Structure 1
Amino acid sequence: MLFTVFTASYNRAHTLPRVYKSLQAQTLRDFEWLIVDDGSTDGSEELVAGWAAEADFPIRYVRQDHGGKHKAANLGAREARGELFLPLDSDDECRPEALERFAAHWQGIPDDRRPGFSAVTALCDDQHGEIVGSRFPHDPTDSDALEIRYRYGVTGEKWGFQTTAVRREFPFPEVDGQPNVPDAIVWNRISRHYRTRFVNEVLRTYHVDGDDSITQKSRAAAIWRAPAFALRWKITLNEELGWFRYDPRGFVRAAANYARFSWDDGQGFREQGRALTSPQAKLLHAAAAPLGYVLHRRDRKAAAAA
């Protein structure tokens, strides 16, 4: 089997039909749909069972105790039967030709170079037809997640697969009590070992929420999410500083956010510094800590008002 289309779901019975409809329309049929349910209580299991009985492609439903999307992704990678592992969120949709185009781009990488690649990544638009973020500098661009971000400054939601073998090789850290761990932790680590073919083709529609209250809600949730976010920015400072010259402001923000979320998580300034592994990271952290403390105080205020 070529593709495992993986969906992590938690109480998404109202949006999963959008995903199912997209997969029904695929022009390439060599795939399975693997849903890992993170403890839903809204009838999702019965809904999926009905689809599995009627669909002309395999649908597998695996249930886990409520533990977060990152744990569901790790379980999905272990359970996958496809060569290529393609996450598709529980509230999104994709073009009918998405799998066919991904397969063509993958096969378009020369045979002698393909072992050094793990992924193909494409563009997304939103439900209004607007491309999310920026395009890649060339079509295709053979690069990696770190270079795309720091050297080329590509922004916004993108979509693609990893080989299933590589996803198993690089699981998400399983941070207890966290509903999610930032994807960048895994993608950036993969990028130090494998390349990605980036293509300027829109294959997924990413449904965005226009609620003006999201920023305030995010600040209020920052303390709850602090362990995962502190880990994300600690990894940036410890493992990615070689890219500093391309985006110095971005690394100052990373250092401030590391201090911010570490304080949100109850870690003092000295404890934060001890977790950093280079003199450069420690210096940057010390310089950005005052801004991080201001952001931390704002998080505390938002949490108190929530």
Structure 2
Amino acid sequence: MPYFTVFTPTYNRAYILSHVYESLKAQTFQDFEWLIIDDGSTDGTRLLVEEWMQEEKLNIRYIYQNNKGKHAAHNNAVENAKGYLFLVFDSDDRCVSTALERLKFHWEDISPLHREQFSTLSVLCMDDNYNVLGHEYPNYICDVADPDQQRQYRSTGDKWGVNVTDILKQYKFPIIEGERFIAESIVWNRMSLAYSARFVNEKLCVKVYRSDGLTQSSVRVRVNNPRGTSMVYLEEFKVLKGLVYRFKSAINYVRFALRTNKVEIIFPSYKSSLLMICALPVGFVFYLVDSYRVKK
């Protein structure tokens, strides 16, 4: 069993996938498998990966699936992963040569007496100029059990890290017929209800935002996948503690639930009902703004 499964989901990214390949070849720690899930590419990705496999520089496994979206590719990868820890390495990212070595170090730095309570290790991302994307954590090492605090740490810019593969197998992405996207946060939020996470202020991943990436088309992607998107925000609304965060989730729930044929707002308490009612007009305004932006 390799220590890591490095999972790369890809769709028509043959022109950039070599950055991942070069990053992985340069790793100082080589006990990993590179699991590539090709989500229906038509640009020669298979031939490129087969060339690399023939080079035998890395332990590469390639799986092709019909285009179903990144979340479905993630489920496929988790099912097929052989590594102890699971790392998502997107097709347009790079990393420092010691990334896997440092991830292993930080994971094993968690006391063996408490390690089973942890599902996640998260580190920082940076741009090409080594600037942190988002904000650093309050301390160099933060061990967090509270789900609300975990979510806040994850939402302060791009983060990168590993999860225990056997735990991930218990937390699959929902698959909604006719939709090809659901936010990754739905899995991390669910896991945080049962497990702790360690956050470390070390920059290991280099991210570049490209015009054909999900980040650049975030609003359009969410508008086109409203059932999954509204599910994410409704779950946040139910579990978050802070009033401001819950109100934002309520607004976004209304914003995208209005695009579904069936709007079901669940009121766990009178206080929650009032908060959701207050979010209705604001969410409706965002719904109209999204409609205008998507049409442009």
Structure 1 contact 123–135 (Cα < 8 Å) conserved: yes
Query: Once the 2 structures are TM-superposed, how far is the Cα of residue 256 of structure 1 from its aligned partner?
Result: 0.8
Indicate the larger mover: 154-163 or 137-146. 137-146
CA distance in 1, matches of 2:165, 2:13: 25
Q: Structure 1 residues 179, 102: CA separation in 2 closer, same or farther (over 3 Å shift)? A: same
- Distance in 1 (alpha carbons) for counterparts of 2:282 and 2:74: 34
Distance in 1, matches of 2:86 and 2:47, equals: 25
Q: Match of 2:169, SS? A: helix
Alignment of 1:127-206 (within 5 A): 127-144=128-145, 146-150=148-152, 155-206=156-207
SS in 1 for 2:101: helix
1:147 positional shift: 1.1
Stretch moving more, 26-35 or 177-186: 177-186
1-structure distance, mates of 2:159, 2:75: 20
By how many angstroms is 1:221 displaced?
Answer: 4.5
What is the distance in 2 between the residues matched to 1:184 and 1:229? 10
1:73 correspondence with 2:74: yes
Partner secondary structure for residue 124 of structure 2: strand
Amino acid paired to 1:117: F
Q: Is the 8 A contact 1:181 1:229 kept in 2?
A: yes
Amino acid at match of 2:264: Q
Aligned partner letter, 2:225? R
Instruction: Report what 1:296 is aligned to.
Output: 287
1:272 aligns with 2:264: yes
Alignment pair present for 1:285 and 2:276: yes
Contact conserved, 1:36 with 1:76, CA < 8 A, in 2? yes
Contact 2:85–2:164 (8 Å) recurs in 1? yes
Q: Quick one: percent identity of the two aligned structures?
A: 37
When normalised by structure 1's length, the TM-score is: 0.90
Give 1:198 shift: 0.8
Q: Quote the offset at 1:15 in angstroms.
A: 1.2
Does the CA-based 8 Å contact 1:126-1:208 persist in structure 2?
no
Q: CA deviation at 1:57?
A: 2.3
Task: Report the CA distance between 1:220 and its aligned residue.
Answer: 4.4
Deviation of 1:179 (Å): 2.4
In the other structure, the counterpart of 1:237 is 237
Separation in structure 2 between the aligned mates of residue 104 and residue 13 of structure 1, nearest angstrom: 32
Residues 135, 154 of structure 1: 8 Å contact kept? no
Distance in 1 (CA, whole Å) between partners of 2:85 and 2:191 is 15
Unaligned runs of 5+ residues in structure 2 are none
Q: For 1:11 and 1:153, locate their aligned partners in 2 and report how far apart those are by CA, in whole Å.
A: 28
Q: How many residue pairs were aligned?
A: 292
SS of the aligned residue for 1:122 comes to: strand
Secondary structure at 1:272 match in 2: coil
In structure 2, the CA distance between the partners of 1:107 and 1:218, relative to structure 1 (3 Å rule), is closer
Give distance in 1, aligned partners of 2:57 and 2:154: 41
Tell me by how many angstroms 1:219 deviates. Answer: 4.2
Instruction: Tell me, yes or no, if the aligned pair for 2:126 and 2:205 is still in contact at 8 Å.
Output: yes
1-structure distance, mates of 2:45, 2:54: 14
Cα contact 1:119–1:161 (8 A) shared by 2: yes
Judged with a 3 Å threshold, the aligned counterparts in structure 2 of structure 1 residues 125 and 5 are, in CA distance, closer, same or farther, namely: same
User: How many Å separate the matches in 1 of 2:182 and 2:222?
Assistant: 13
Q: Is the 8 A contact 1:223 1:299 kept in 2?
A: yes
AA of the residue aligned to 1:47: L
Contact 1:222 1:264 in 2 (8 A): no
2: CA distance, partners of 1:154 / 1:260:
20
Inter-partner Cα distance in structure 2 for 1:73 and 1:9: 11
Shift in Å at residue 137 of structure 1?
A: 1.1
What are structure 1's unaligned runs of at least 5 residues? none
Q: Secondary structure at the match of 1:33?
A: strand
Task: Indicate whether 1:254 and 2:249 are aligned.
Answer: yes
Q: Partner of 2:29 in structure 1? A: 28
Q: Is the 8 A contact 1:8 1:37 kept in 2?
A: yes
Deviation larger for 52-61 or 93-102: 52-61
C-alpha displacement of 1:261 = 0.2
Residues 110-119 or 21-30, more deviating: 110-119
Supply the AA of the counterpart residue of 1:260. R
